Amino acid sequence: MISVSQEIIPSSILFRKQYNLKKLLEDLNNPQDNFKVINVVGTNGKGSTSTFIYKNLFQKYRNVGLFTSPAFLYHNERIQVNNEFIPDDFLKKSIGNNFDLFKKYELTFFEIWTFIAIEYFNFKKIEIAVIEAGIGGVKDATSVFNNQICVCVTSIGLDHIEVLGNKIENIIENKIKIAKHNSKIYTTKKNYNYLEHFKKYTSNEIIFCEDFDDKTYQKYNKGIAKKVLESLGITYDINTEPPLGRQTILNKDPLFIIDGCHNLDGAQELVKSIKNIEEFTILFGSSVGRENNDMVKFLDSRFKNFYVTKFDHMKAWDLNLVNAKNKVYDWKEFLKNSDCNILVCGSLYFIPLVYDWYKEEKNDLIY
């Protein structure tokens, strides 16, 4: 498999002002509509909700796809069929064979990944796919799927405001408008406070799902997944595992937990869901542009032992600009010398680095 540390699609095409994937797919007779789709949008919990649904669809369907992001350890993780990642050779061939097409239509980084997923799903003749949005909803590349059977809306909070706007109403509008035709919208009961905003932007039926019997923040995501699966005549398996990096326990004594909470809503839910959280030392690393956001202020005010750190990634923040008193410039050395309960959280570009490092330190597969 291809490590996320390797660049296989040029980062220079990460974002553009216009999105042309829909036009390209129309010119190819809309291959994205050859299979059914469950769209998953939201601020937090998209990856977990997508995984919980995907892993249970095999009770009814023979060929099932999953498109998710970001990748944790390998690029291949983004595209899965029947619990297997897209093979290296198909991935490289798809990029090579279609690169002129990508340039012609000026596709963005995420549009290219969405196109590759569509191509692979058609090659594997899947029946149904769970499609996780990248940023937003109606403006996201994943809005191109028309054979939609439902939409899942996970937790809602302020994130990616440079793209989605700086008001909750802006966020909701962008996410909710991905719903097409008469697709039902499944969301957590936690979002009932936003009902009027929902109704303002959609006439589709909205189903508020009961929380699952779980003491962690996964109660919201499992609740949505359970209800969606029930609508398809499928029983949710309570033993379904979440993706790596979502409150993953690497060691039990002392506790060592990693979690990809990367915004205020995620941080608040994480803190509420961990027992005796005040006994933990918190190490937090985030992405550029978040040096002084509310998440840093919340964690800094909540914990005596709160530290911020930098990491090696093109999207990593500048630690010198972070307004926090405890700064760690070498997170590996810091963790190596720690003998207390540790919670490492923040960017999903940082958490995989910690996971890899910990595996090497212990010379073992720890999950």
237, part of any domain: no
Q: In this structure, are 218 and 162 located in the same domain?
A: yes
Q: In this structure, are 153 and 99 located in the same domain?
A: yes
Q: In this structure, are 114 and 174 located in the same domain?
A: yes
pLDDT of the residue at 162: 45
Q: In this structure, are 211 and 259 located in the same domain?
A: no
Q: What are phi and psi of 262, to 5 degrees?
A: -130, 15
236, part of any domain: no
**Measured at the alpha carbon of residue 162, what is the angle toward residues 160 and 165, in degrees to the nearest 5?**
85
4, part of any domain: no
Which residues lie below 8 Å from residue 55, measured CB to CB, with a gap of 6+? 83, 237, 240, 241
304, part of any domain: yes
CA distance 167 to 172: 9
Q: What is the CATH number of the domain that holds 101?
A: 3.40.1190.10
58, part of any domain: yes
pLDDT of the residue at 277: 85
Q: In this structure, are 106 and 167 located in the same domain?
A: yes
Boundary residue ending a domain (164, 199, 231): 231
CA distance 267 to 344: 11
The list of the chain residues with pLDDT below 70 reads 11-17, 158-166, 363-367
Boundary residue ending a domain (231, 257, 279): 231
The domain containing residue 257 runs over which residues? Answer: 248-362
Q: Cite the DSSP H helix spans in 255-324.
A: 264-273, 294-302
pLDDT of the residue at 363: 64
Domain count, the chain: 2
Residue carrying the six token digits 């550029």: 288
pLDDT of the residue at 7: 87
Residue carrying the six token digits 């999953």: 66
Q: In this structure, are 139 and 255 located in the same domain?
A: no
pLDDT of the residue at 264: 85
Q: In this structure, are 58 and 132 located in the same domain?
A: yes
Token readout for 122 is 């058609």
pLDDT of the residue at 367: 40
